[in-house]
Structure formats: C-alpha cells, structure tokens
Structure 1
Amino acid sequence: MVTRPGAGLLPKVAERPLRFGDRGPAVVVLRDLLDRAELGQPDEGAAPLSQAPDVQLFDEAVQEAVRLFQQFRGVLADGVVGRDTALQLDAARWQLGDRVLVDTGSPLMRGDDVSALQERMVKLGVHAGPVDGIFGPVTAASLRELQRGLGVPADGIFGPRTVHAMAALGRAVEGGDPWSLRTREGVAAAGKSLKGKVICLDAAHGGNGYGMSGHGLVEADVTAEVCRVVAEKLRLAGATVGLTRTGEPGDYPDIVERVDFATELGADLVVSFHCEANPSPLAEGFATFYWGGGRVGQHSAVGRALAGFVQREVVARTGVVDCRSHPCSYDLVRMTAMPAVMVGLGYLSNADDAQRLSSAAFLDAVADAVLAAVQRVYLGEDDATATGTIALADVLAHAEGN
C-alpha cells in the first residue's frame, strides 16, 4: 500500500476555484495530480508539469492540461479547477492495490481503484454494478462474495490478502453488463403508462442559491420555473413528482442531499435542469448529459436513452442550437441509484438563449419535450411516433390503455 499526495486540493477549491493566473501551494498539488493522471501533457515531449521553473503558477500549460483531463473525465472542459474537477483528480490518484478499501460510512471512499475493483467483480460475475467508483455497502457485499470464492476471510475489506488472491486468478473472462441489463429490464417491466411513475425534478442553484447569471436572469430562478412547468405536465399525465428544491428562501440542498431526496422519494427517473454561462457571448445552445465512462458497467443505458430523447424533442420543438447529448461523470448522475440526466437549458451569457429562457412559450415547449421524452423511455420498442409529435393527449391515451 502506498501514499498518494493531493487529497488537500478539494477543500482549497471549495473556497475558490483555481484558474489561470493563480499562484500558491495549491497549484503545486494540482501540477502533481495532473502528472499522475498521465493526461496532462498536450505536447508529448514536454517536461512534467511538476518540474516547471515556477511550479506555483497556474500558467497556460496547466490550463491546457486541466482541459485535457476534464475532457477525458467527462466534466466541463473550461480549464478551471472547481469541485467536480478536483473530485476527478482525487479519484485519479489511486490505482488498484495502492490502499486498503473498506466501507467507511460517510464519507465513502472514492477513486479509480474502487472503479477498477468494481469492474473486475462485474467481469467475474459477483457485482451487478454500477461501476461508480464509490465503495459503499453494495460494493462491500460483492467483495465478500468474491472473497468467499477466493478462500480468504470474507470481511469486505480489500487489503493485501485479497489483492494477492485476485492476482492469482489472472485475466478474468469478460461477461456482460448486468446492472445495465437490470435497469433496462426494470423500465420494460414498468409498463407504458406514466400513471404511478415517480419522477424527481432538480432545479440547479450553483450551490450558492443563485448559480449562473446573465442578461437579467439567474439560474436558480430559471431552473425553478422550468421544474414548476414540467411538474405540472407530468402530474397531468398521472405521474408523482418530487422537487429537490421547495423554492423557500435558503433552501439550497447540496448534491448529496439532492441524491438522498431522490432515493427517499423512490424516484424512477431524475431530471436535473441547469443553465450555463461563458466569457464568450457567442456560446449558446441546448445540451443533455448522462452518466457514462470507459469501464464495463460504468454507464447508464436508460439515462443515455432519456438524455437523447430530451435532446431531440427539445431541438425539434424549439429550433434551439443543438449541442447534443454527452456522457459525463458529474455526481448528480453518477450517485443516483436510478437513471438520471442533466439538462443544459442554454447560456445566460448569450442574448438569444437568455431571451428564449425568458419566454413562457419556450419553457412550455421544453416541458412538452420532457414529457414526451419520459413517455418514450417507457414506450421502448413500441415507440414509432415521429420526434416532436407526442402530446399530452397521446400520453393520456397510453395511461388509459394500461
């Protein structure tokens, strides 16, 4: 077992994100983490970032390295090190076998070593997923099952004895993706009707109660209004809707609280609404995101389908700039037990996007699109309708037919 420096970066960026031009010890830690991630050099012949003449400066080389890392890890590639990027850098510090893994309760252990263990257990048929890089009770239970098969103490602790026993197995026979199959089968068995389905709607607020802003609009207000309109449509279709934010002053739950809310609600799906802002006023468009990564078991098949449906329905109904649907590793879609998507409504820094988001007609069209997208998830292979054509009456007809 080894020690990996860098854990102190997250509390530093929680106070203020690191960006171009910053200077200090936190930048030294950042350079080391980027070197360890082995993705930090845009130029293969360049020296390691941790060996630069001025290691305390967040310069152009660091900014480019951060962007490359962000692109690879599925977070916003803005070259700024905030909470999500810091979490991914922290996870990348660890390789399987570097440390003892155990269910520590709150906070849970995270890292690429946890993802590697989960993926290995998926291939061995003892872990049904997801491969989320979080060592919780489900992963510990899977590990105990593996340990019983290996003939080592089934204590749910991944330490030296289990490492050596796993090494003796050699290469595992690769199987399928049971977690993905299970979630898809669950949706297929749920029926076509939205009556009785439980949908959690999340209005992003940036953690500070306001979030992004521009052209007189504030993210927290825009997303809350979108959730209100979408909730109204879903309830008319017979669905049960839960909102992570009540709209009361000071009600700004963090990511963990929002994930816990969806779990306690018993949600079938989670749809989270966000706004963007960019230094360039030309950045505009609508995008959706779902959980996805490069490992076996590290993606949400239903989330990908829902994100794609939302994206196509909104573009077809509004003509907004299509920024497409993308896999990502944001905690909101990674930590939820049920399929979840993030919806990027547009850029408040762009005049056209801001004007659309100020329009009740546009928000109503987005709500119609989300309703149609959720319905399409449950129609599955029986969905033969053209994009942009499903209306509330069609959704109600499916409810009557089930």
Structure 2
Amino acid sequence: MDMPTSLLAAAGRPLRAGDTDELVPVLRALLIRAGALPPESPPADESGFDTGLDAAVRGFQQDRGLVADGVVGPQTALALDGARWRLGDRTLLLTAGHWMRGDDVSALQERMVVLGLHAGPVDGIFGPATETSLRELQRGLGLPADGICGRPTFTALGALGRSVSGGDAWALRSRGSVAMAGVSLSGKTVVLDPGSDRTPGSGGVTEAAVAYDIALRLADRLSAVGARVKLTRRPDEDISTEDRVALAESEKADLVISLVTERHANPVASGVATFYWGGGRVGQHSEVGQRLAVLLQREIVARTGLQDDRSHPCSYDPVRLTHMPAVILALGYLSNPGDAGRLGDADFRALVAESMLFAVQRLYLAENDAETGTLKLSDVQAFARQR
C-alpha cells in the first residue's frame, strides 16, 4: 500500500479540525489502514478535516499513548506512518543511516520476546539489537542466519504458532540491573533533560527557566552524593529529541529524567504528573521506568502539596527511544496562576529538586525500605558511603 506519508510527516505544519489541505485524504487513508476510521464512502469534501476525522485522530492518539488533542503533528504523523505496516508486508532488514520503523517491526520484536530471543525493548525500530535477535531466531529455525526477515522467515514464524513462551527478557534484565546496582547513588550516571519552551506563562514564568533551574539543583544534590550527572542542554540552548536520546545513550546513563511543564486553555488545570514508556505489546513497557515515575510522583506530591495528576504510560519519544529507564516529569501548569507562582519561587524549586533526589534514592532501595516522605538528606548521604 503506497501512501505519501513522508509528506504528512514532513509537512512542517500540524493538521487539525477545520483545516482544508491536500494532505487530509492521506491522513484519512492512514487512519483507515490503522483501523481508527471505518472504511466508508468518502465525505463530500475529501480535503476537509471534519469532526469525524477529529474523533478518529483523538482515538488513535489515545490508543498509542500520545496526547489526545486531535492535532496531527510530527509524533502523530510518525505513529500513523508506522501503523500502516503489518508483519509480512515488506522485507525487514538493517539499513544503514535510516533504520526501518513500523508496527511490523514491533510485531517481529514481540514475537521474538515471547520466544525468549529478544532482550531489547519492543520499540518498533529495526536496529542492531533486533538484527542480532533475528539471526538467533533464524538459526533456531534452521534458516540462513542473514538477518533479513523475508518470506522464508515469515513462513517459519507462522508455522511455530504462539504456544512457545520465554518471557520478557528486557524487563527481567532491567529489573535485575537495578537490584544488583546497590543502594548507593555514588557512581551512577543520571541524565537530566530540561525542557526548553521559552513562551511565558502566568506571571512570565517559562518552562526553559524553571526546568533548567530544577535540573541544576538536582544535579548539585546528586553530585554531592557521588553520582555522575549530565544535562542535555546549556541554559540558552535547545537540541532535538534525537540528540537528547543520543546523548543519554553515549553517556551510558543509568536513568534519564526529562523535566517539562504543561499548559491548558482552562486556567483551572493544575498539578504534577509523570510519564513512562508503556504500550499494548509484550516488551513495550519499561518496568523500572514505571517504578521511578511512581516514586517521583509520590515524593513530589507528599513534600510539595501539588495536585496529584498521577503516573501514566505513554509512547513519547524521550521515553520510548532510550534503552535505559526514562521518565518525563510534568512539573505543573504554567497556565495556572497557582502552579506558575509556586514554580517561580526559588525555595519551592529547591523543594522539588530535593523531592526528586529522594525518589531516585528510593528506586535503589527494597520496596518497603522507606515510606514516602520519610527519607532525609542524611539517609541519602549514609547510603552513598555503602559502596
């Protein structure tokens, strides 16, 4: 099925309800292919982004762990592009410079996880780890181990059935790494990724200033107990998501924490929320990321009194593309005068940073070693000496 999805992904402008655009028919076809829109007769105006299309986009976004705002931006466009592929539609192989992505890659990875052959995340990206797992699968099936998933491999996979199960090796490995890492934060590498939106919110507060300041405060606290900390940007800099992910990978980080703020048309919206990678397939879930997200949420709510907007699975690139546990911390709503006022206060930002330190420490403790809100700085310092 040949569709010019690259036009949609590279349009350079979002599509939303009410738009009239030559890319709307492409969007409609992609939603039908993804099962988010019934394959009914086309509307009177094929180029019009109507209410039915808006509902389909929001449903697709919600199903994929994206912000369900009905706006087709780069993340939604890429997700739609990947959703058009079914396992067997095309030959899968490692391609230099531009790795293949799509639901067919996810389906192959999931199948290998179930068979106990894939120890990486089910991220829908055909990279070196997926090729290595595929070669192992092919050897086990008695096929040439060429790392190319074509018709012979599809046929052999189909003949296997789904009765064989090996578990989620990636989840087991991630959980085991944390358990074996020891309680001390000394020697651990943490990448802090402060958001960079400079649009003023209530009272002139900006995400770029708030997120960077809290990241610096947390970096000081982590460094004081021996952790190695790297920030993804300088104060007046912005970098792409891909570069942020690449930096985390190059640093061989143990954890990645992205700090952002929220906005809403309704100024009543407020509160703190955390996000971790989670999807609908086996292997599409960061177990350690979820635990860190929950710990951050609990500590910040308990110590600051910010409204609890809970922890949520998502498929945003900052948490999906990293191979180490990663979370997104939404610090509050800059469109809410209360949240913005508190985030604009230096003492409050210091309290948030301290709360985050305790959450990171609790990740490396046994489940019941410390209740929410009970750790003190002296406790963290004591754990740091247990090397």
The answer to whether the superposition gives a TM-score over 0.5 is yes
For the pair 1:125 / 2:116, whether they are aligned, the reply is yes
Q: Which residue of 1 aligns with 2:381?
A: 396
Residue number in structure 1 paired with 2:17: 20
Deviating beyond 6 angstroms after TM superposition, the runs of 4 or more aligned structure 1 residues are none
C-alpha deviation, 1:218, in angstroms: 2.0
Deviations, residues 204-257 of structure 1 (Å, cap 9, x unaligned): 225xxx36745412222221111111111111222110000022x4x3110111
Give the partner amino acid of 2:5: G
TM-superposed CA distance for 1:283, in Å, is 1.7
Contact in 2 for aligned 1:123/1:172 (Cα 8 Å): no
Partner SS for 2:166: coil
Contact 1:125 1:175 in 2 (8 A): yes
SS where residue 342 of structure 1 aligns?
A: strand
The answer (yes or no) to whether the contact 1:276–1:344 under 8 Å persists in 2 is: yes
Q: Name 1:239's counterpart in structure 2.
A: 227
Count residues in correspondence: 387
Deviations 1:274-300 (A, max 9, x none): 111122222211100000111111111
- Alignment-mate amino acid for residue 74 of structure 2: R
Q: Residue type matched to 2:225 in 1?
A: A
Distance 2:46 2:337 in 1: 39
Gaps of 5+ in 2: none
1:308 to 282, 294, 313: 294
Q: Distance in 2 between matches of 1:267 and 1:74?
A: 24
Amino acid at match of 1:28: P
Aligned-partner Cα distance in 1 for 2:163–2:289: 28
Structure 1 pair 40–396 and aligned structure 2 pair: CA distance change class (3 A): farther
3-state DSSP class of the match of 2:266? coil
Q: Whole-Å Cα distance in 1 between the matches of residues 329 and 266 of structure 2?
A: 21
**From 329, 341, 350, the counterpart of 2:336:** 350
- Alpha carbons 1:212, 1:277 under 8 Å: kept: no
Structure 1 residue aligned with 2:144: 153
Matching residue of 1:44: none
Aligned with 1:201: secondary structure? strand
Identify unmatched segments of 5+ residues in structure 1: 42-46
Q: Which one of the candidate residues 66, 71, 75 is aligned to 1:75?
A: 66
Q: Judging changes above 3 Å, is the alpha-carbon distance between structure 1 residues 149 and 75 closer, same or farther for their aligned structure 2 residues?
A: same
Residues 4 and 94 in structure 1, CA contact (< 8 A), matched pair in contact too: no
Q: Take 1:377 and 1:157, find their aligned partners in 2: how far apart are those partners?
A: 39
Tell me which of 27, 30, 37 is aligned to 2:27.
30
Residue identity matched to 1:10? A
* 1:371 match: secondary structure: helix
Question: How many Å apart are 1:8 and its aligned residue?
Answer: 2.4
C-alpha contact (below 8 Å) 2:273/2:311 kept by paired residues? yes
Query: What are the equivalent positions in structure 2 for 1:292-307 lying under 5 Å apart?
Result: 292-307=278-293
Find the counterpart in structure 2 of residue 375 from structure 1. 361
Residue 220 (structure 1) aligned with residue 208 (structure 2): yes
Query: Partners of 1:384 and 1:212 in 2: how far apart?
Result: 41
Superposition map of 1:155-304 within 5 A: 155-206=146-197, 210=198, 213-247=201-235, 249=236, 251-304=237-290
Check the 8 A contact 1:223/1:273 in 2, yes or no.
yes
In structure 2, relative to structure 1, the CA distance for the partners of 1:320 and 1:267 (3 Å cut) is same
Report the RMSD for the aligned CA atoms in angstroms: 1.6
The 5 Å alignment of 1:101-112 reads 101-112=92-103
Q: Say if 2:257 and 2:328, in contact at 8 Å, map to a contact too.
A: yes
* Corresponding residue SS for 1:8: helix
What is the deviation of 1:303? 0.2
| Partner amino acid, structure 2, of 1:176 | G
d(CA) in 2 for partners of 1:181 and 1:122?
Answer: 11
CA distance in 1, matches of 2:163, 2:7: 36
Q: Percent identity?
A: 55
Q: What residue is the counterpart of 1:387 in the other structure?
A: 372
AA aligned opposite 1:51 = P
Partner AA of 1:401 in structure 2: Q
If the length of structure 2 is used for normalisation, what is the TM-score?
0.96
Distance 1:214 1:140, change over 3 A: farther
Q: 1:145 to 1:401 in 2, by over 3 A?
A: closer
